[in-house]
Each structure stands twice: as structure tokens, then as C-alpha cells.
Structure 1
Amino acid sequence: MMLLSDQAGAKIPRPATLRESVIEAIQELIVSSQLKPGQHLVESELAQLLGVSRQPVREALQQLSGEGWVDLHPGQGAFVHVPTVEEADQLLAVRALLETESARLAAQHASEEGVRRLRELCSRGIQAVESDDTDAAVAINSDLHALVTALSGNKVLAELAAQVARRVRWYHTPVARQRGMTSWREHAALIDAIEAGDERRAAEIMREHTESTRASYREQRAGEPIEPAPKRVRRRRTRTSSAN
């Protein structure tokens, strides 16, 4: 007799908790630049914006602090993290490695349906750029890269890429307009290589594409440095005179 514990894949997906939903909402506000690096995060204002009480917001900010999205300054509160050029560069370098391999494998395994979906996303991305809709272009760009990784057929690679995807969107948003249509011409060439099954060419295009975004981010930060969040203010203790 087979026990229930022997059954694979029988678990019901757990719905997201309120705190998880708040975390995701705040991350999205940061990624989309509605909350900017260095901006003060007021619990009551976020709670009102998200339609929740202050408690899940407070819990979310604590967790986001541990994950590098938020900086907590004792005595001053929470601020959107200001990414250093070095940490952004390191993450974009890792992204380049992961996605170069994803593109190579996608050229091996992508089906006609997969290629069709890539071309549809590319077409939508071009329309977004032509309409000067940067937010849509960034979102579609993220979807296209995620699909390339999915088409690689390597689940571990897809999981690793997913872990950095949202932060990549955060770093890509400031340079999306600068990259403009060039980025989407590179996407089109990548899709051609994947459709042709040309692994070497697909990997080469993806490597150059991701490195171009990395270089653009460095240039953007050099030209428009972001002011860091306020430093902690040291409070002086008031001395009390002792009785004689």
C-alpha cells in the first residue's frame, strides 16, 4: 500500500502571506524607480499607499534590509538602498555569464513555438521603445530574457537567473532609454541565431548584449552620481549633575 508521504508533487501551493505581498510590492516600486535610491521610506505613507497596516510594512522593511534593498539608519528610519557601482557591476557580470550559457543552450533546444514567442516579445518591445514607454520596455526585456533562459532547458540555470532577475531590472531601468532601439536590434539578432540553432553565435550575441548594458550602467553612474542616503546622526547624551 502506498503512503501519502510517498506521493510526489501532492503539496498544494501556499498562498503568499501579507508580508510577502508587501515585500514584492515595495520591490516593484523600487525597481520601477517610483521609489528612488536614497529616498526616505515612511512606514505610515507606505501603509497608506499599499492599503495595509504599518505592521506588515515594518516587517517587510526589516526583511528587505537583510536582502540589500533597503538601508535602516537608527534614529532616522529606512531608506531605499543606494547600489554601489561595484555591487551593480558584480551582479551584471554574473548575469552575463548565466545568460550567455542560457542563449547557447536555447539555440540547442528552442522549439518553433519558443522562437515564435521570442519574436512576439521582441515586437512588443520595439513598439514600447517607439512609444517611449520605458517601463513597458524594461518589463518586456525582462520577460524576453527569462524566456531565453526557460528555453535553455536547464532548470538549475533558470532558477539562478530568476534569483537575480528583479535586481537586474532595477539596474537596467536607468539605462533603458539610453540603450533604446539598439538593445532590441540585438534581441532580434539573438533570436535569429537561436532559430538557426547557431550556439556559438547566440552565445556571442548575448555576451555582447549583456556586457553593453553593464557598460552603459557604469557610464550612467559616472555621469549622474546618486547621492547616498543620510548618514547616521550621533546623538549627544545630556549630562546630569550628581547630587553632592
Structure 2
Amino acid sequence: MPSTELPQQTSARRIDRPVPLRERVYQAMQELIISRQLAPGQHLVESELAEMLGVSRQPIREALQLLNSEGWVDLRPGYGAFVHAPTDAEVDQLLAVRAVLEGESARLAALNADADGIARLRKLCAEGEAALASDDVDGMVAANAELHRCVTELSGNRVLLDFVSQVDRRVRWYYTPIARNRGARSWEEHGRLVDAIERGDAETAAQIMREHTERTRHSYLEQRAENPEPDEQPAQVRTRRRRAAPRV
């Protein structure tokens, strides 16, 4: 009769614990940075962030350390914490890598996408165009990010999806200030991309995606040249926001 006892070397499966408060604060602050509710160069005051998010200063301090380690926040001794202001080189390099990764995503999606996948892409295009019509920048950014992620999911390549996911939040951060300027042209390009994927035209889909991501890169850099972001803003957290900050 088989033994019902577990081998001595078997490790017990740990029960998932609730997400630590610092992680939830980190996620909330990261979203505020991505949406530009906390702007590049902005001085982050712990007491004001704690009041905004409904927590004590300790998880704010811990979250700032995490954000600093990942390049979202700069901790300056003697001055405090500031939202990181990305350099032109940082943006250029990341968006150039994105063009390569997502060009391959589009090529593979054209070879692997099924009818349900195409329907998802069409739905996301409709959502983006509706957001454009109502001048909903947050909606445009969200639909854009979801469409690009969907293309990569349809590629069927999990490793590629992991790489694209690593740069997704940065892309959203960079895309937010140009979403309105890219506007209709961006969604026209998305429509042509989906058409090529639906036809199974892998090379055309890859070319459209590469050109699309390159236009986004150039648009961002052109806007930066015309309207440089300040290195530093007043030492306070802005209270005017497009939507209420999440409480954690």
C-alpha cells in the first residue's frame, strides 16, 4: 500500500499572503507617474503623498526606495525625492528596442491570429477611436497599450511577450504626452495593421508596426525638442488630477 506520508525533502506549498502595503503604494505611485499626474521633475513630499493615498509615511518611504531602484524616482541627498525626468537618449533607446520587438510580434501575429484574436483587435481599435473622438487621453493611452499587448499575445511567443511586457509601462509613460498629437493618424495605422494581420500578410504587418512605432518615437522626440520638460517643479504634489488618485 503506497505511503501517505510526504517525503522529508518535500517543501510545503506556501499560502499566498496579502500584497504588502508598500507594494500597493508602489503600484499606485507608479500609475500616477505613468499618467503624468506626478510629472517628470516633480518634487515628491512624503507627507503630501501619504495624505493623498490615505496611508502613513512609512510605506511611502519604502515605495520611493523601490521606485528609485527601478528608475521611476530620483532620490537626491539633501533635497528629497523627485519624479525621474527621462533623457532623450533613454527614450530613444527604449522606443528603438520596442520597434524591433513589436515588429516581430506583428509578423508572428499575422501567422497565428485566429478570428477571435482579430475581433479583439477590432474592438480595441473601436475603443481607441471612441476615446480619440471624446478627447479622452487616458482612454487613448489605455487602448493603445492593450492593442499592442494583444498583438504580442497573438504572436504565440511567450518569451517575446515577457520582453514586451518589461517595456510596456515605460512606453505608456512616454506615449501619454503625445497621444493627442498622434491622434487620428495613430489609429489609422492601427487599422491598417489589423487588416494586414487578418490577411495573414506577415511581412506587411511587420513593416506597418515598425513604421508605426518609429513615428511614435520621432513624435515624442520632436515634442521634447519643442517643449523640454523642466528638471524640477515646485516642491509640492500637484492636487489637480485628471482622475482621483487611488487610495491604498
Q: Same fold (TM over 0.5)?
A: yes
Residue 85 of structure 1 aligns with an amino acid whose one-letter code is D
Cα distance, 1:47 vs. partner? 1.0
Aligned mates of 1:149, 1:50 — CA distance in 2: 34
Partner residue, 1:163:
166
Q: Tell me the C-alpha RMSD between the 2 structures.
A: 2.0
CA distance in 2, matches of 1:157, 1:19: 30
**How far apart, in 1, do the equivalents of 2:28 and 2:112 lie?**
34
Q: In the alignment, which residue of structure 2 is the partner of 1:20? A: 23
Of 209, 218, 221, which residue of structure 2 is paired with 1:218? 221
TM-score, normalization: structure 1? 0.89
**2:220 is equivalent to residue 179 of structure 1:** no
Structure 2 gap segments, 5+ residues each: 234-248
1:172 corresponds to which letter in structure 2?
Y
CA distance in 1, matches of 2:24, 2:198: 38
Match of 1:71 in 2: 74
| Aligned position for 1:97 | 100
Q: 2:47 aligns with which of 41, 44, 58?
A: 44
In 2: Cα distance, 1:107 partner to 1:5 partner: 50
Unaligned runs of 5+ in 1: 231-244
Is 1:59 aligned to 2:65, yes or no?
no
Q: Distance in 2 between the 1:23 and 1:71 partners?
A: 14
Pair 1:152-2:155 in alignment: yes
Once the 2 structures are TM-superposed, how far is the Cα of residue 229 of structure 1 from its aligned partner?
3.2
The separation in 2 between residues aligned to 1:216 and 1:124, in whole angstroms, is: 22
- In structure 2, do the counterparts of structure 1 residues 13 and 185 end up closer, same or farther at CA, with 3 Å as the change threshold? farther
Q: Distance in 2 between matches of 1:157 and 1:101?
A: 9
User: Residue 15 of structure 1: CA displacement?
Assistant: 4.1
RCO comparison, higher one (Cα < 8 Å, 6+): 2
Q: How does the TM-score come out when normalised to structure 2?
A: 0.87
Q: Post-superposition shift, 1:150?
A: 0.6
Q: Distance in 2 between matches of 1:29 and 1:42?
A: 14
Counterpart in the other structure of 1:124: 127
Q: CA deviation at 1:16?
A: 2.5
**CA distances 1:136-174 after superposition (whole Å, capped 9, x unpaired):** 100110011011111110001101100110110000011
Query: Which is higher, the Rg of structure 1 or of structure 2?
Result: 1
The structure 1 residue matched to 2:87, chosen from 47, 66, 84, is 84
The percent of aligned pairs where both chains have the same amino acid is: 62
Please state how far the C-alpha of 1:18 moved relative to its aligned partner: 1.2
